[in-house]
Structure 1
């Protein structure tokens, strides 16, 4: 039986009811922002059910104000909170925190996914320890969506793994492909490996070997090759793959550039009476630009590669931004994100076996220089 047949049916969306666990106490303006966000989410997803974890004395009055959220939520009481400055090691010891209980609900199967706007480091640590990686995944990665000149672009890893090897980059590409198909609705997203140049000889051995494996895999037709930093916002590919160190630097640089642009525009249009008049003339266009680049549209980074859906909302977001993070989690569950990752990893392994079988057997006594071309590094073709 082929790998794809073994996992037949993963393209069929989930139609039955499921529950998302929500850390009600995570975020700068929690729990008000969280409950208000759930009101928006419940309106968009009438069948949604949420396990709301936090202080019932604070949550019950809020739910009384938001009728849709109240109908969709079940409160699980706890007064312990993972603070923004708590170290991950301390968060791991806090077994009764709202974040830990929400993640435990996913681990037990009570919830299909978890959404939190709380401490990022704590969430990553708890998710890795409690949920663990999917079979065949070496390291989970942080993925998110951002704007580009051609539409939305997926980027990973964004900081979960500072150092990555060939296997990690290949797995990130598989997970990024599934993420783009699941959340962006793309049928065959293009994939690029972030590098210091687009030429095939650029970069270190790790990215070059990862590129060779991707070209030979089932997603080879989607693999664009190497991309550079400017290609991220140009929209050269739908998915950009890199290690967590580089990805986090690129992310923070992009955020800083956006803030700088906004500040410069503000200075330009407040510099005098003529500038203020000019602002009134161009305001409709600026409003469209502001809407297009609104960070709330891109809220909801995903920890991919875990036994369960984990979505990290920005801590400083508002209710609409948090609702978007809920949307992302809903999409991942409905479209069987993790099942698709399992299927694609199985196909990568199948590609490896076919490549190995196609290699001619070297004659007895042949030296290293007589080895068939392309066999170097075959031990890294797929997850163990």
Structure 2
């Protein structure tokens, strides 16, 4: 119910997902049940065997303060969706709503994995010859070195399961690759990551210009830096696509040339558009939670639904806890 485009876009995404992925897990739409049923009927989903509804009378808005929303809006669609995961009635929850509220509700209701006290948003971004994952992409603007170490662990597992790479290359984002370059958070995290040995494939510090080359698979940073990187990339991708299109259509000669390269241009546009990567999973919780953009359209939400279904199948959280415990031993961290 917290989508910028309204619940009709979410229902449209559900229809796309159910039509395109016949083996998809059943979906439950959480929110104003009467409205959702009406929208589902208009979308041709009335009576669909894989679609259910769960009523929630309140909505968390983008302007709500996380703590107040958690206390005052206990019957919000966001809270109820997460509770379905907590109670085992759903395998994953997807929300377009307020990020701070989602992170807070996720940690409060699902709890973090043993040995962790923070979760991280993982965003997939295209690069040469594939993709890299950046985390944290906005869940924790202020982080400690051990939080970033945990980001490296969960990021490595996520990349391995999503892209099939056995030992993903891990890089710590900073302003220079020389030893000692960067702020205190970076230098302390670097020393801890070096102590993990063969637990992960740690390359060391990486700079911004390395991210889009085929040099690193998982980029570790705090949520403040990660969120700026993510939104800058999304804005830049849209800028280049718009400018390239305008340039190709500027005059008749260019239009003729554009016809010859239309296939390549379409492929590039589809590869870099943000909606291709439906949402960012909040990793490190005892349940699957995906944060989609507030402005996510039906295509993006359809992809988020598919990603959630895949996370359920792979049982991602089961593979992480043992490595978190081992990492904590190696860096001398007493679990809080």
TM-score normalised by L of structure 1: 0.80
Residue equivalent to 1:300? 279
Provide the C-alpha distance between the structure 2 equivalents of 1:72 and 1:303, rounded to a whole number of angstroms: 25
SS at match of 2:189: helix
For residue 157 of structure 1, report the CA deviation from its aligned partner.
Answer: 0.7
Is 1:79 matched with 2:57?
yes
**Larger Rg, first or second structure (1 or 2):** 1
- Please tell me whether the aligned partners of residues 218 and 348 of structure 1 are also in contact (alpha carbons under 8 angstroms): no
- Please tell me whether the aligned partners of residues 142 and 158 of structure 1 are also in contact (alpha carbons under 8 angstroms): yes
**Structure 2 residues not aligned, in runs of 5+:** none
Pick from 40, 49, 52 the counterpart of residue 26 of structure 2. 49
Is 1:134 matched with 2:113?
yes
- Please say which of residues 54-63 and 234-243 is displaced more in the overlay: 54-63
Shift in CA distance, 294/54, structure 1 to aligned 2, threshold 3 Å = same
Is 1:202 matched with 2:181?
yes
Shift in CA distance, 194/383, structure 1 to aligned 2, threshold 3 Å = farther
Provide the C-alpha distance between the structure 1 equivalents of 2:87 and 2:104, rounded to a whole number of angstroms: 18
Q: Map of 1:97-136 to 2, 5 A cutoff?
A: 97-136=76-115
Provide the C-alpha distance between the structure 1 equivalents of 2:16 and 2:198, rounded to a whole number of angstroms: 37
- Please say which of residues 139-148 and 31-40 is displaced more in the overlay: 31-40
- Please say which of residues 192-201 and 61-70 is displaced more in the overlay: 61-70
Residue equivalent to 1:58? 35
Pick from 34, 54, 57 the counterpart of residue 10 of structure 2. 34
Work out the number of aligned pairs and report it: 333
CA RMSD, Structure 1 to Structure 2 (Å): 2.2
Residue equivalent to 1:251? 230
SS at match of 1:196: coil
- Please say which of residues 229-238 and 169-178 is displaced more in the overlay: 229-238
- Please say which of residues 73-82 and 61-70 is displaced more in the overlay: 61-70
- Please say which of residues 69-78 and 232-241 is displaced more in the overlay: 69-78
Shift in CA distance, 69/98, structure 1 to aligned 2, threshold 3 Å = farther
SS at match of 1:223: strand
For residue 75 of structure 1, report the CA deviation from its aligned partner.
Answer: 0.8
- Please say which of residues 62-71 and 206-215 is displaced more in the overlay: 62-71
TM-score normalised by L of structure 2: 0.91
- Please tell me whether the aligned partners of residues 39 and 68 of structure 1 are also in contact (alpha carbons under 8 angstroms): no
Shift in CA distance, 132/293, structure 1 to aligned 2, threshold 3 Å = same
CA deviations on 1:338-372 (whole Å, 9 max, x unpaired) are 1111121123245x2xxxxxxxxxxxxxxxxxxxx
Residue equivalent to 2:128? 149
- Please tell me whether the aligned partners of residues 166 and 210 of structure 1 are also in contact (alpha carbons under 8 angstroms): yes
For residue 236 of structure 1, report the CA deviation from its aligned partner.
Answer: 1.3
